[in-house]
Structure 1
Amino acid sequence: MSQAKIKKIRVGVASCGVAAGADAVLELLRSRSESVPVEGTGCLGHCYAEPMVEVVLDGGDSVFYRNVKAENGYIDNILSLGEKDRFEIPPARKAKELIKVLALAGRIDPTRFEDYVENGGYDGLKRALSMTPAEVVNEVKLSGLRGRGGGGFPTGTKWSFLAAKDTPEKILICNADEGDPGAFMDRSLMESVPHQVLEGMLIAAYATGATKLFIYCRAEYPMAIKHLKIAIAQIQEHKLNVIAGRELEIIIKEGAGAFVCGEETALIASLEGQRGTPRFRPPFPTDRGWQGHPSMINNVETFGNVPLILREGAAAFASIGTEGSKGTKLFALAGDLKNPGLVEVPMGTTLREIVFDIGGADPEKVKAVQTGGPSGGCIPVELFDTPVDYDSLKKLGAIMGSGGMIVIGKDRCMVETARYFLDFTHRESCGKCTFCRVGTTRMFETLERIVAGKGEMADLEFLEDIGPKIRMGSLCGLGQTAPNPVLATLRYYRHEYEAHVKDHQCDALQCNALVDMYLDKTNCIKCKLCIKTCPVGAISDDFVIDNDKCTRCNACKDVCPKKTIHRVKKGSEQ
Structure 2
Amino acid sequence: MTADALTPVLTKRWLSPQSWRLATYEKLEGYTALRKALSGTPEQLVKLVKDAGLRGRGGAGFPAGVKWSFMPPNEDKPHYLVINADEGEPGTCKDIPLMMADPHSLIEGCVIAAYAMRSHHCFIYVRGEALHPIRRLNSAVREAYQAGYLGKNILGTGYDLDITVHAGAGAYICGEETALLDSLEGRRGQPRLKPPFPAAAGLYAAPTTVNNVETIASVPYIVNGGADWFRKMGTEKSPGPKIYSISGHVEKPGQYEAPLGTTLRELLELAGGMKDGIPLKFWTPGGSSTPLFTAEHLDVPLDFEGAAEAGSMLGTTAVMVFNETVSVPWAVMKWTQFYEHESCGKCTPCREGTYWLAQILERMVEGRGTEEDIDTLLDVCDNILGRSFCALGDGATSPITSGIKYFRDEFVALCEKNRASSPELVGAS
TM-score by length of 1: 0.70
The equivalent residue for 1:387 is: 301
1:96 CA drift (Å)? 7.0
The number of equivalent residue pairs is 417
- Out of 62, 80, 85, the residue aligned to residue 153 of structure 1 is 62
- Out of 220, 225, 236, the residue aligned to residue 129 of structure 2 is 220
In structure 1, C-alpha distance between the alignment counterparts of 2:166 and 2:363, rounded to whole Å? 41
In structure 2, C-alpha distance between the alignment counterparts of 1:124 and 1:96, rounded to whole Å? 23
- Out of 181, 187, 194, the residue aligned to residue 268 of structure 1 is 181
* 1:350/1:414 CA distance change after superposition, 3 Å: same
Q: Which residue identity lines up with residue 236 of structure 2 in the other structure?
A: E
Secondary structure in 2 matching 1:391: helix
In structure 2, C-alpha distance between the alignment counterparts of 1:170 and 1:116, rounded to whole Å? 28
In structure 2, C-alpha distance between the alignment counterparts of 1:306 and 1:418, rounded to whole Å? 37
- Out of 20, 37, 44, the residue aligned to residue 128 of structure 1 is 37
CA contact (8 A) 1:374 1:422 kept: no
In structure 2, C-alpha distance between the alignment counterparts of 1:97 and 1:335, rounded to whole Å? 23
Secondary structure in 2 matching 1:279: coil
CA contact (8 A) 2:370 2:418 kept: no
In structure 1, C-alpha distance between the alignment counterparts of 2:172 and 2:221, rounded to whole Å? 30
In structure 2, C-alpha distance between the alignment counterparts of 1:430 and 1:93, rounded to whole Å? 45
In structure 2, C-alpha distance between the alignment counterparts of 1:485 and 1:213, rounded to whole Å? 35
Which string of whole-angstrom CA distances, capped at 9 and with x for unpartnered residues, describes residues 429-457 of structure 1?
00001010011111111111211212122
1:414 CA drift (Å)? 0.4
RMSD: 2.0
The equivalent residue for 2:397 is: 483
Q: Where in structure 2 are the equivalents of 1:443-482 lying within 5 Å?
A: 443-482=357-396
Is 1:199–2:113 an aligned residue pair?
no
Which string of whole-angstrom CA distances, capped at 9 and with x for unpartnered residues, describes residues 21-73 of structure 1?
xxxxxxxxxxxxxxxxxxxxxxxxxxxxxxxxxxxxxxxxxxxxxxxxxxxxx
1:373 CA drift (Å)? 1.9
The equivalent residue for 1:278 is: 191
1:377 CA drift (Å)? 2.2
1:366 CA drift (Å)? 1.3
CA contact (8 A) 1:374 1:424 kept: no
Q: Which residue identity lines up with residue 485 of structure 1 in the other structure?
A: P
Secondary structure in 1 matching 2:189: coil
In structure 2, C-alpha distance between the alignment counterparts of 1:402 and 1:430, rounded to whole Å? 21
In structure 2, C-alpha distance between the alignment counterparts of 1:206 and 1:452, rounded to whole Å? 56
* 1:447/1:162 CA distance change after superposition, 3 Å: same
Secondary structure in 2 matching 1:296: strand
1:208 CA drift (Å)? 0.6
1:355 CA drift (Å)? 2.4
In structure 2, C-alpha distance between the alignment counterparts of 1:267 and 1:472, rounded to whole Å? 21
* 1:98/1:359 CA distance change after superposition, 3 Å: farther
In structure 2, C-alpha distance between the alignment counterparts of 1:147 and 1:165, rounded to whole Å? 25
Which string of whole-angstrom CA distances, capped at 9 and with x for unpartnered residues, describes residues 84-138 of structure 1?
xxxxxxxx99687441110111214234212111110111111111211101000
Secondary structure in 2 matching 1:483: helix
The equivalent residue for 1:347 is: 260
The equivalent residue for 2:163 is: 250
The equivalent residue for 2:410 is: 496
1:495 CA drift (Å)? 1.0
Q: Bigger relative contact order, structure 1 or 2, given CA contacts below 8 A and separation 6+?
A: 2
* 1:281/1:497 CA distance change after superposition, 3 Å: same
TM-score by length of 2: 0.93
Q: Which residue identity lines up with residue 250 of structure 1 in the other structure?
A: I
1:469 CA drift (Å)? 2.6
Q: Where in structure 2 are the equivalents of 1:85-484 lying within 5 Å?
A: 97-241=6-150, 242-243=153-154, 245-361=158-274, 364-484=278-398
**Which protein has the bigger helix share?**
2
CA contact (8 A) 2:340 2:351 kept: yes
CA contact (8 A) 2:199 2:209 kept: yes
Secondary structure in 1 matching 2:315: coil
CA contact (8 A) 1:397 1:488 kept: no
**Which protein has the bigger strand share?**
1
Secondary structure in 2 matching 1:183: coil
Structure 1 range deviating more: 196-205 or 157-166: 157-166
* 1:373/1:359 CA distance change after superposition, 3 Å: farther
The equivalent residue for 1:36 is: none
Moved over 6 A (4+): none
Q: Which residue identity lines up with residue 332 of structure 1 in the other structure?
A: S
In structure 2, C-alpha distance between the alignment counterparts of 1:235 and 1:156, rounded to whole Å? 25
Task: Structure 2: state its 5+ residue gaps.
Answer: 423-429
1:182 CA drift (Å)? 2.9
Structure 1 range deviating more: 397-406 or 490-499: 397-406
Secondary structure in 1 matching 2:200: coil
Secondary structure in 2 matching 1:375: coil
The percent of aligned pairs where both chains have the same amino acid is 38
Structure 1 range deviating more: 345-354 or 273-282: 345-354
